[in-house]
Amino acid sequence: MTTKGKKPDKREYTLKFIPHQGETVRSYSFSMRTLKIWAAALAAGAVLLLGGFGYMSYSVGGAGSIAAPRETPDEKGRQAELAQLAEEARNLQTEMEKLTEREQTLRRLLDENAEDESAKHTGQGGPSVPAEVSQVRRALDAVSRGLPARRESLAQLEAQLQRQRTEATARAAEADKLARTDVPSNVPSGWPTSGDISSPFGWRWNGTDFHPGIDIANDTGTPIVATADGVVTAAGWNAGGYGNMVDIDHGNGILTRYGHASEVIVHEGQHVKRGEMIAYMGSTGFSTGPHVHYEIHLHGEIVNPASYL
């Protein structure tokens, strides 16, 4: 049985362009075969164009996203450990700074290895590099090992300072005992502390200010002692400019006052003896440096302490 082939499609289509104003009409004739070829070519071009656009989008957007590094669980753990170590480092640094500040204060009080803070150099620099956990741990271990030695050093300095204060008090008491054998115990006699007179009693600064006592200057922490037996009538902060202050009533209308102390170690109502330590020298209240302001009141009148020294 013979199968007959399809007859070729011989249809034709005419496309006419009819211009305005009576110009010539143009006609274009196309066979069905030609139209099919043009349609296939247009379809192939559209496929190629869409494919190229899709490839470019993938290259610019998709490929870039895939190439971006992602943080692995190990990296997250490392960052968390570094953050914890950084917090430990800050805490250790804070403690070390406090210990260093305390040590410097004690050494100044003991007059050992005194340093001029203004002469210190403060230059810093160096490249910034990523921190490694092992490096931070080694640094923290080094600081931790140094803390016990620093604490021990501070304990020794504090003990030395206390011995110095005790010895100074004992020497002052012994000197007072020898110098005041003929003076009644309730009459002020001798110096309330050791040091230099930095401002005398009376008018000062070209007559612009009257000073109601004498100022004896020395280092912060120098012991201050009572100059006669009596009862403490004031011990603590005074808002009138004396800072930390002690008043002692010796009876018979006699009162002594000791101002600008760094620390008061007696309390109101306490009975004290001549030469007994009552405070430590400081620079509280209206003061330009460590000293004790010493006043003597006699029946309510302020008198010059110089005659009682």
Residues 33 and 146 in one domain: no
- Same domain for 150 and 288, yes or no, is yes
> Got the DSSP string for 142-206?
HHHHHHHHHHHHHHHHHHHHHHHHHHHHHHHHHHHHHHTTTS-TTS--S-SSSSEEEE-SEEETT
Dist. CA 61–CA 52, nearest whole Å: 14
Which tens digit of pLDDT belongs to each residue from 209-219?
Answer: 788 999 999 99
113: pLDDT strictly greater than 50 = no
Question: What are the tens digits of pLDDT across the range 151-179?
Answer: 787 788 778 777 777 777 777 666 666 55
Q: Are 36 and 150 in a shared domain? A: no
In-domain check, residue 103? no
The helix (H) or strand (E) run that includes residue 206 is none
Q: Is residue 93 part of a domain?
A: no
Query: 276 with 180, same domain?
Result: yes
Q: Is residue 288 part of a domain?
A: yes
Of the given ranges (31-40, 77-86, 160-169, 291-300), which has the lowest mean pLDDT? Answer: 31-40
pLDDT score of 241 more than 70: yes
Q: Find the domain containing 202 and state its range.
A: 134-309
56 lies in the same domain as 169: no
CATH number at residue 250: 2.70.70.10
Q: Which of 122-126, 186-190, 224-228, 284-288 has the lowest mean pLDDT?
A: 122-126
In this prediction the pTM is 0.45
Residue 302 forms part of a structural domain:
yes
Asked if residue 187 belongs to a domain, the reply is: yes
User: Does a structural domain hold residue 80?
Assistant: no
- Kindly state the percentage of the chain with pLDDT values over 70: 66
How much is the pLDDT for 95? 77
In a domain, 147, yes or no: yes
Regarding predicted confidence, which is higher, 260 or 52? 260
Residue 112, pLDDT > 60, answer no
Per the structure, the count of domains in the chain is 2
Residue type at 277? M
Given pLDDT bands bounded at 50, 70 and 90, which one contains residue 144? confident
- Tens digit of each residue's pLDDT (9 = 90 or more) over 30-75: 666 776 777 777 777 776 777 766 666 655 555 444 445 566 767 7
Task: Name the average pLDDT for the chain.
Answer: 77
Residue bearing the bigger pLDDT, 291 or 115: 291
Residue 209 · residue 201 · CB < 8 Å: no
Kindly state whether residue 205 falls inside one of the protein's structural domains. yes
